[in-house]
Structure 1
Amino acid sequence: MASFEEKGCVFNDIESKPLEDLWFLEEGSDSREDTPQRTNNLYWESQLTLLEEILERYQITGTKLGKEVDRIINNIKASDYCSCFKPNDSYNCTTCLRKRVATMLCDRGFTTNLCTSKWKATDKFPGGSHEYIEVIAVTATRKKQIRLLIELEFKEQFQIAKAGEEYRKLVSCLPEFYVGKPEHLTAIVRVVCEAAKKSMKEKKMYVGPWRKSEFMQMKWSGFNSIYHQKTQASESNMSFAGTPNVVVAVN
């Protein structure tokens, strides 16, 4: 057992140290130089936790439709589905895949819209357009209609070739395609776009306007979204009912 004198020497040794060293002793092996790294780690951990919570809520809605879409996509990709015959890209033709998915959902009793969002160029963002699928569902009591979006290239929208490991881990949590409510999609887009901006700045990469949350959201609820094509199942085979709605402009 250490003597009183030995204990006193230890105390005096600590007492004589500057405040910086005392802080170091209290915190263990960390130091002030490590603080930015710890802050960075906490940021990515919090973003991952937030994204996982949003995805958990998202999975509650549209589960039945999501499974159906997955089966349809697998069936379509097992065949020669491209009818536009784009050179060197017929196997991965998302345009034809999207049309086939919408048609097959209709054939299986879902009220389906094939929609296009269009927006004009501004000082902040370039103009563009984006196509996606909309399904009009109803609640279990059939008293309320629910608009569900299907984005077949969802995960691909957020891929960045030279992104950091933390961002790639975040994107790996995303589903390959999205089936769910617009508000859940918006929440996911905000989290991932903010993370993309941080990752690209850390890598000293240019953050283009097309990487920003406001631009990404225009793909599904643009300033001038228009109705592109409507397909509706017959009432005798309808498991999702209701009159399809036109996607209206969002200002």
Structure 2
Amino acid sequence: MANFLEEIALEDQRLEGHGEKIRATSAEPCNQSNRSNSSDGDADEGNIGSLPDSVDPAEFWQSSYKILKEILADSRPSGSKLRKEVDRAVMMARKTAMCHCQKATGSGCASCLRQVVVDHLHTIGYDAATCTSKWRSTREIPGGKHEYIDVIVQATDCNKHARFVIELEFRSEFEMAKACDEYRNLINQLPESYVGKPEYLNAILGIVCEAGKKSMKEMKIHMGPWRKRRFMEMKWSGPHRRWSFDQSHIGPVRSKDVGVPVIVFGPRFFEAPAMEVA
């Protein structure tokens, strides 16, 4: 934690550099004004003609591979210990009968797996919680709901904190039944589970969602709104409820790291008021 602020500053610089590369690789800028000013909606809807013919396919895929590889490499040092603990918890869960809910299957369900990981992280001292993001339908994207894990890490020598997102089925979020070989190769670079900061996650989305659009154009398939970058971003970066627990308290408690009111009665989970964490 001693170099916490320096690490954040260095990561901000790296992310800004990746952002410039992503904007250069993308066929369209990914800023809100361009999205809202689009007259025909092709860029947002992912219609087959949304990418200009001037974009050289070989250059596009080569640049996408390179930038994604750089983003993944830069993201690994942050939360490396946390990532090891998540992998350990998943490995232990899959060796035991971890699922006892109504959705129980031979390999267990994703919800129970998330709970096992959260419990393990709590046991070793992490401020981990299950998060539920939920958003309404708009003209551009359908409404949706998603569950994932987050961890709040507090710096010991300042009031700063870092938020880490844990998505246990990360690679599968981008798999497509019909995709070009270049897209499949790109997706295979992604880790099965993502453990890292939201900023790196959004940088990854910038590359992968644009690649998905390119793949569907090449396959002459319409891109559904649930594969848009904005829809994917809402899963991990949109307003969400953070579910927490504390077995040693009865009554209202407050998360010391993010100031989220949490109602707790023993080990059961109760939701905190809806909030948006940057």
Higher relative contact order (CA 8 A, sep 6+): 1
Structure 2 counterpart of 1:147, one-letter code = R
Structure 1 SS opposite 2:56: helix
Q: Hey, what does 2:129 align to over in structure 1? A: 113
Q: Hey, what does 2:276 align to over in structure 1? A: 249
Alignment map for 1:114-129 (pairs within 5 Å): 114-129=130-145
Q: Hey, what does 1:180 align to over in structure 2? A: 196
Structure 1 counterpart of 2:212, one-letter code = A
Q: Which has the larger radius of gyration?
A: 1
Deviations 1:141-180 (A, max 9, x none): 4552111111111111000111111001110110111111
TM-score (norm 2): 0.69
Structure 1 SS opposite 2:76: helix
Alignment check: 8 A CA contact 1:150 1:180 kept = yes
Alignment check: 8 A CA contact 2:98 2:113 kept = yes
Pick one of 154, 159, 172 that aligns with 2:175. Answer: 159
Query: Does 2:89 match 1:62?
Result: no
Alignment check: 8 A CA contact 1:133 1:150 kept = yes
Q: In 2, distance between residues paired with 1:38 and 1:122?
A: 30
* Worse-matched range after superposition: 186-195 or 134-143: 134-143
Query: Does 2:253 match 1:226?
Result: no
Instruction: Answer 1 or 2: which has greater helix percent.
Output: 1
Alignment check: 8 A CA contact 2:165 2:196 kept = yes
Alignment check: 8 A CA contact 2:154 2:162 kept = yes
Structure 1 counterpart of 2:276, one-letter code = A
Identical aligned residues as a percent: 44
Structure 2 SS opposite 1:112: strand
Q: Hey, what does 1:206 align to over in structure 2? A: 222
Q: Hey, what does 1:237 align to over in structure 2? A: none
Pick one of 43, 47, 65 that aligns with 1:48. Answer: 65
- How many angstroms does 1:86 deviate by? 1.6
Alignment check: 8 A CA contact 2:161 2:257 kept = no
Q: In 2, distance between residues paired with 1:84 and 1:141?
A: 42
- Structure 1 runs, 4 residues or longer, greater than 4 Å off: 140-143, 244-247
Deviations 1:46-68 (A, max 9, x none): 00001011111111201110011
- How many angstroms does 1:40 deviate by? 1.2
**Cα–Cα, structure 1 residues 140 and 61, in superposed 2: closer, same or farther, change >3 Å?**
farther
**Cα–Cα, structure 1 residues 250 and 67, in superposed 2: closer, same or farther, change >3 Å?**
closer
Q: Hey, what does 2:22 align to over in structure 1? A: none
Structure 1 SS opposite 2:153: strand
Q: In 1, distance between residues paired with 2:259 and 2:173?
A: 25
Alignment map for 1:136-147 (pairs within 5 Å): 136-139=152-155, 141=157, 143-147=159-163
Deviations 1:193-232 (A, max 9, x none): 000010011001120011111000000122x4223x1135
Structure 2 counterpart of 1:124, one-letter code = E
